[in-house]
Amino acid sequence: MNTQQTFDAGRSFDAAQYQQNASFVPALGDVILGWLAPQPGEHILDLGAGDGVLTEKLVAAGARVVAGDASPSMVTAAKARGLDARLIDGEALDFDEAFDAVFSSAALHWMPDAARVSAGVFRALRPGGRFVAEAGGFGCVAAVRVALADAMERAGVDANGAHPWYFPTAEHHRSVLERAGFVVDEIVVVARPTVVPAGFGAWLETFGKAQLARVPAEQRAQVLQWATARLEATLRDEQGRDVADYTRLRFRARRPALA
Ligand code: BEZ
């Protein structure tokens, strides 16, 4: 299977749509950047770098960075920023002891084969190298998933197993990392309610493609409207902002140094 086939089913992004509807995602990456604390001269893989907004911060810190993403459109957008951007499938990494650190923000939940991802990252790191990441954790966007599933079922579409995301507990993901050989220094799942500035409808159109692909084209607008109305009734705050029920898995782990 090639990269594009692997990342179809809602996992391939259009950079223009992403910038319009989801620019809040990289804007919220500063916490995990702080956990990484990139150092001048370090060689870093940014896994799932998107259009490179956060990658530029790693470069500004003096690191040499490869921006890897599985969406051709995102890679093109990252190259336009002057970054070393490459089409990379996180579930089939092909590096050997090449990096001092692997960093990932808001991308690992799109890579459900976490064992393969972790093994590939482990191989990609030099001994002593670190893996620092943030992604959706257990319970992430649960209300959004339920609202969309309800709307799909109201339209007569089976929603079982439709969402494409990996949202583990900290305990589960710790065991995945340890099985790959990592020492886990810190791992948590925290709630982070997240304002989606373009609203729930735009969020669903941008991120819900895998689920909406199951809905016959002529019913999609209706399903989107039902789901959006349910979400607005539930998760619209006093200021009229749509606030999605995000959780964040955050961890820092390292490949043990040679004895
Ligand atoms: C997240 O960043 O947690 C996320 C983004 C899109 C869909 C689901 C989760």
Binned average pLDDT, 10 residues per bin, the chain of 259 residues: 41 78 79 97 98 96 98 96 98 98 98 98 98 98 98 97 95 98 98 96 95 97 98 97 98 96
The number of distinct structural domains making up the chain is: 1
Amino acid of residue 186: E
Contact 151, 226 (CB under 8 A): yes
Count CB-CB contacts under 10 A for residue 92: 15
Structural domain range at position 135: 3-254
Q: Could you tell me if the CB of 230 is within 6 A of ligand 1?
A: no
Is residue 101 one of the residues assigned to a domain? yes
Is residue 208 one of the residues assigned to a domain? yes
Quick one: pLDDT at residue 9?
54
Is residue 71 one of the residues assigned to a domain? yes
Quick one: pLDDT at residue 172?
98
Instruction: Indicate the top mutation candidate among 13, 110, 141, 206 to test ligand 1's pocket, ranked by most ligand atoms within 8 A of CB.
Output: 141
Residue 209: helix, strand or coil by DSSP? Answer: helix
Q: What letter does residue 10 receive in the DSSP assignment? A: T
Is residue 181 one of the residues assigned to a domain? yes
Is residue 259 one of the residues assigned to a domain? no
Quick one: pLDDT at residue 10?
64
Q: From atom 7 of ligand 1, which residue's Cα is the shortest distance away?
A: 207
Phi, psi of 32 (to 5 degrees): -75, -30
**Residue 136 CA: which ligand 1 atom is closest?**
3
Is residue 145 one of the residues assigned to a domain? yes
Is residue 193 one of the residues assigned to a domain? yes
Q: Could you tell me if the CB of 167 is within 6 A of ligand 1?
A: no
Is residue 196 one of the residues assigned to a domain? yes
Quick one: pLDDT at residue 5?
37
**CATH number of the domain to which 238 belongs:** 3.40.50.150
Give residue 257 CA to ligand 1 midpoint distance, Å. Answer: 33
Give residue 256 CA to ligand 1 midpoint distance, Å. Answer: 30
